[in-house]
């Protein structure tokens, strides 16, 4: 990085650290924080969409749809999350390969499950046999996104359904008395008001989502936990930057990163809640109205 970094062993303290903290592997470590942010940025809207779909299904008057919604929410919420995070990527990966296998190699005669092996033909491998490394990690990453959205979609569905029910019934009835259809009443009356009831639950789910991101490590991705272990471990003099076991410091950085993330989002949600309470028929909304008057 810097011009004086050519021979680290001769450097004074601060320059040594300047060089040490700007090595290529350290930049991979910093990038992994961005990966966490990226995962959050992709998963949150997806989970919200899944949650919305789930909540709509729960509200639906068509019973197969309602059962589907109930099944989804209850199964995902009833099984420990970690089981889910480890199960979904493997099961989904095997499922995709199984489908490709049947499409691309219809004349394959050996069974797919041979004892303890899961064998599909060469063309059906996902990602492909010669896929570059970044495709592999992108594939693993998207698996993680799917697993996270599935689990958090179920949590969100439950919260959103509760929020929809919490909008005062009288208002919906008034809307219907004005001749609005069920869909219209939902779009014009329930939808704009439900968020104030949903925000506390959603903010809770968001905090849990943040704290679930280190589990990426379990899916074999090179995330912040991976790099903290890798970089923090003791380095002998064979390395250009020898140091004792510094894992505790690396994990301290991670700890602070997550604390900052949860602290910042707590504040953001507080502001959002205040904004949404304006003009609502709730205690907080009433207090705002009185303060303004």
Distance CA 54, CA 69 (A): 5
115 binds other proteins (CB under 8 A): yes
Judged by CB under 8 A, the residue of 81, 108, 171, 219 near other proteins is 81
CA gap 44, 153 in Å, rounded: 9
Which burial class, exposed, middle or buried, applies to 217 when counting CB atoms under 10 A from its CB (0-12, 13-18, 19+)?
Answer: middle
Nearer to other proteins, 217 or 269 (CB): 217
Task: Supply the Cα-derived Rg of the chain in whole angstroms.
Answer: 25
Number of residues counted as binding other proteins (CB under 8 A): 44
Distance between CA atoms of residues 145 and 40, nearest Å: 9
Select from 259, 268, 274, 281 the one that contacts other proteins (CB under 8 A): 259
Q: Using the rule CB under 8 A, is 112 a contact of other proteins?
A: no
Q: Which of 21, 28, 105, 218 binds other proteins (CB under 8 A)?
A: 218
128 Cβ partners below 8 Å, 6+ apart?
135
Which of residues 6, 34, 77, 132 is near other proteins by CB under 8 A?
77
Nearer to other proteins, 186 or 250 (CB): 250
Which positions from 44 through 63 interact with other proteins, judged by CB under 8 A? none
Structure tokens at 234: 């003791």
Q: Which residue, 243, 253, 244, 249, is CA-closest to 214? A: 253
CB of 126 vs other proteins, minimal distance in Å:
16
Residue closer to other proteins by CB (options 188, 229) is 229
Q: Would you give the binding string for other proteins spanning residues 153-182, x where CB under 8 A is met?
A: --x---------------------------
Q: How far is the CB of 159 from other proteins (least distance, A)?
A: 10
Closest to other proteins by CB, 49 vs 90, is 90
Instruction: Give the range of 51-59, 128-136, 184-192, 256-264 binding other proteins by CB under 8 A.
Output: 256-264
Structure tokens at 24: 């290529």
Backbone angles phi, psi at 236, to 5 degrees: -80, 180
Helix (H) or strand (E) holding 17: helix 13-20
Q: Answer yes or no: are the C-beta atoms of 187 and 230 closer than 8 Å.
A: no
91 near other proteins, judged by CB under 8 A: yes
**In Å, what is the CA distance from 72 to each residue of 122, 239, 265?**
34, 51, 28
Site for other proteins contains 232 (CB under 8 A): yes
Nearer to other proteins by Cβ, of 2 and 118: the residue is 118
Instruction: Say which residue the tokens 């009831």 belong to.
Output: 197
Interface residue with other proteins among 174, 204, 270, 274 (CB under 8 A) is: 204
Does position 83 interact with other proteins (CB under 8 A)? The reply is: yes
Contact call for residues 240 and 187 (beta carbons, < 8 A): no
Interface residues for other proteins in 262-281 (CB under 8 A)? Answer: 262-263
Q: By the 8 A CB rule, do 250 and 234 touch? A: no
Among 188, 229, 275, 289, binds other proteins (CB under 8 A): 229
- Report residue 16 as tokens: 């040594």
State the Cα–Cα distance between residues 48 and 156, nearest whole angstrom.
6
Residues near other proteins, by CB under 8 A: 77-83, 86-87, 90-91, 113, 115-118, 155, 204, 208-215, 217-218, 225, 228-229, 232, 245, 247-248, 250-252, 254-255, 258-259, 262-263
């Amino acid at each position: 990085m810097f011009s004086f970094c050519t021979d680290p062993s001769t450097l004074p303290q601060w320059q040594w650290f300047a060089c040490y903290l700007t090595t290529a592997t350290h930049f991979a470590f910093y990038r992994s924080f961005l990966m966490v942010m990226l995962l959050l940025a992709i998963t949150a809207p997806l989970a919200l969409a899944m949650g919305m779909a789930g909540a709509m299904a729960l509200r639906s008057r068509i019973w197969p749809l309602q059962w589907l919604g109930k099944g989804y929410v209850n199964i995902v919420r009833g099984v420990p999350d970690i089981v889910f995070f480890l199960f979904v990527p493997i099961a989904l990966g095997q499922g995709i390969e199984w489908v490709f296998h049947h499409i691309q190699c219809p004349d394959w005669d050996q069974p797919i499950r041979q004892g303890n092996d899961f064998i599909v033909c060469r063309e059906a491998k996902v990602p492909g046999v010669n896929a570059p490394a970044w495709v592999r990690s992108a594939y693993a990453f998207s698996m993680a996104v799917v697993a996270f959205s599935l689990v958090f979609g179920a949590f969100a569905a439950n919260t959103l359904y509760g929020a929809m029910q919490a909008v005062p019934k009288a208002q919906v009835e008034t809307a219907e008395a004005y001749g609005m259809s069920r869909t219209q009443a939902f779009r014009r009356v329930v939808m704009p008001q439900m968020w104030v009831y949903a925000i506390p639950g959603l903010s809770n789910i968001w905090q849990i989502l943040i704290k679930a991101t280190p589990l990426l490590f379990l899916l074999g991705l090179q995330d912040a936990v991976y790099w903290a272990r890798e970089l923090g471990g003791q380095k002998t003099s064979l390395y250009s930057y020898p140091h004792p076991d510094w894992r505790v410091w690396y994990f301290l950085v991670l700890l602070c990163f997550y604390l900052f993330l949860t602290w910042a989002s707590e504040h953001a949600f507080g502001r959002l809640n205040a904004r949404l309470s304006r003009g609502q028929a709730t205690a907080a909304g009433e207090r705002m109205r009185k303060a303004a008057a």
